[in-house]
Amino acid sequence: MSNDILFSVQNGIGIIQLNRPQALNALTHDMCIPLEQHLRSWAKDAAVRAVIIKGSGEKAFCAGGDIRKLADRGPDGVQYRKSFWYDEYRCNTLIGEYPKPFIALIDGIFMGGGVGLSVHGSHRIISEFAHFAMPETGIGLFPDVGGTYFLPRCPGELGVYLGLTGARLKGADILTAGVATHFVPRASMAALEQGLIDAAPTDKAGIDAVVAKFATDPGPSQLAERKTEIDRRFGGESVAAVMAALEADPSPFSIEQAGIIRAKSPTSVKLTFAQLRRGRSLSLRDCMKLEWRICNHVAVGHDFYEGVRAVIIDKDHKPKWQPARLEDVTDAEIEAYFAPVSDGELLFD
């Protein structure tokens, strides 16, 4: 088994350590397979009472998936994408349905795939060094790993705001969005982990009692202060309505957000909006099934590869999106992303 992900059990607590600090603990398919195996085994093991997941190093919990590898256009890339997304989404679902407390200790960057490994758990504990984002619209993708489920369940229209703009959050703002449940300073994270291991709590209340000994107030939230404005600007029933609301408002915030959205993949923006509206009424499993369909359609399009080229490979940050304008993306084109795919549906054991 790869040393990129480590597993141990200490006093009845299963410990998962993402161990690629040189790559910001980016998730690979070789990590997903043993992760699912251990989670399923621990779920059935009465001696394991809870699970902790954490990242190695001080920079990142998990910065996402290995995007370069996912964007490989060759035959190997095709198979890797399908295998990675399939097994990653199964892991996301397993975490969301886990029968035991699942505690993410997030002391650094967590974006994309890293969010999928944490946000669905019962406890998401951040430090002052946690940085959250779902930046997929900027690379021609969409907020997956359960974004269809958790973003519509953020307070008000915060999920739409985060999904369309890829806004980055820190500290109190992550709590305001509902992405994290507790704030614990980095200086106390190791003591919190040891406290959980020593106490070996068996339920949410027991974990809450341990976390309460270390949790502190992260201070004021700028996101909370802007929430009313965000709800008003991002509450429209179409991307056109959202853009009209932003572009009719002369405030610096609205002007900035309109510009940010216009720079993203127009297809990704409209796809994300439709995805999040559908996700409001779907179960986590149904959201993940939908994302499996979407990612397979995205993988045969243009914008994902162009976005990765512009942002990650060449880093010229000048993507040539097709279509290039929001106004040129039709409803029929977006609807096609939700259609069944030839490889069949995402299945669960």
Query: Which residues are known to be catalytic?
Result: 65, 113, 136, 144
Cα torsion 177, 168, 277, 257: sign: positive
Distance between CA atoms of 235 and 102, rounded to whole angstroms? 32
Strand 109-111 to strand 131-133: parallel, antiparallel, or no bridges (unpaired)? parallel
Cα–Cα distance for residue pair 35/135, rounded to 1 Å? 24
Consecutive H or E run containing 111: strand 109-111
**How far is 104 from 127, CA to CA, in rounded Å?**
11
CA distance 86 to 272: 20
Tell me how far CA of residue 113 lies from CA of 87, 122, 174, 201, in angstroms: 12, 17, 16, 28
Looking at residue 125, its amino acid is I
**Spatial distance between the Cα atoms of 121 and 27, rounded to a whole number of angstroms:** 17
Which amino acid type is present at position 152?
A: P
Dump the DSSP string for 155-174: STTHHHHHHHH---EEHHHH
Of residues 103, 129, 122, the one with CA closest to residue 24: 129
Place of tokens 């619209």: 137
Residues whose CB is less than 8 angstroms from the CB of residue 47 and which lie 6 or more positions away in sequence, other chains included: 9, 12
Q: Residue 100 — φ and ψ, nearest 5°?
A: -125, 160
Q: Is the dihedral angle over the CA atoms 219, 220, 223, 227 positive or is it negative?
A: positive
Distance of alpha carbon 59 from alpha carbon 107, whole angstroms: 8
Token readout for 84 is 């990675």
